[in-house]
Amino acid sequence: MTHDPLVEHNLDRIIQTIENIGHVGASPEFTLKLLDIINNTNADSNEIARFISREPAICAQLLKLANSAYFSRGTEVRTISQAIVHLGLDRVKQLVMAIEILGMFTTRRWNDRFDDKVLLKSSLAGAMVCENLGSHLGLNDKHGLFISGMLRNFGILVIREYFPDLFNNIYIYTVEKKRSFSTACSTVCGIEQGYIGHLLFTRWNMPSNVLAVYQKNSGKIGVALIIEKIVEHADTILQQHKYGQWDPYFEVSGKSSDMFAFDNTEFEESLRQTFSEVDDFVSTFY
């Protein structure tokens, strides 16, 4: 079997860089709005948590910090509401400001042909669908499922920020070869975007509900397997409804599990409400 020296070089570069990534920037527009909410004396922690949960970069940063050795106190923090209680609003504000400053620099390097709005719609709608599926299945951790769905494509943000040249090459390959982003990423970098998220989130000591999304082919059982199936089914649903299609060649993985064989009438109505809510929220920033 032959190896492409360029692909091997890209893979080595990604792995080495991940060892030193401390945070990933969010859009300045989003973080400035979040700072306004935090500074509003009438805002409560639930309102702040709901807003933070809708932006992958800030969401991941807070979970990372809350689950760090210094702050965790031996308790796994799975949701943003728990993270705010853990860290306190003052520290949350400091972290948001740091991410906002970083975002001012990194956003200029992103591919201007890639539709950030659609990716945000996919992230948020997928998270809300995961939460809804969890409710239909009678699971108690619906907020944890929301976070799982929100961060399911975090590897894309990592590539876009830290490897803009590779991101451009992946984008070009996707368009020219009509292949999914994951396939293009494997071809260009020797690694899928999902595994990039897995490597980073493992190093960041992210909670189990997030890591479960990325631990492919690991013989998962129990809750971890259920989370994986819910996230996969959420992406399938978005694909079927042609919503949030940032990757036009996304490949649906396998047959839907029998666990999702519930009445679709109520669920379809909730989907319409979800898409409408996401459209309204995203239009605030684009």
| Domain membership flag for residue 4 | no
Residue 217 lies in a domain: yes
46 lies in some domain: yes
At 1 the pLDDT is: 41
Number of domains the chain is built from: 1
Range of the domain at 200: 18-283
Domain membership of residue 117 (yes or no) is: yes
Helices 45-52, 56-66: axis angle to 10 degrees equals 120
Domain-located, residue 271: yes
Can you read off the two tokens belonging to residue 148? 């799982």
> How big, in percent rounded to 5, are the helix, strand and coil portions of the chain?
70, 0, 30
> What is the CATH number for 148?
1.10.3210.10
Give the pLDDT of residue 268: 87
Q: What is the pLDDT of residue 151?
A: 94
Cβ-based neighbours of 115, under 8 Å, separated by 6 or more: 246
Q: Which residues contact 284 (CB under 8 A, 6 or more apart)?
A: 33
Output the pLDDT for position 195: 92
Is 146 among the domain residues? yes
CA distance 272 to 70: 42
Q: How high is the pLDDT of residue 216?
A: 62
Asked if 161 and 25 touch (Cβ cutoff 8 Å), the reply is yes
Enumerate residue ranges in the chain where pLDDT < 50.
Answer: 1-2, 105, 108
For the chain, the first-to-last Cα distance in angstroms comes to 47
Tokens, residue 120: 């945000």
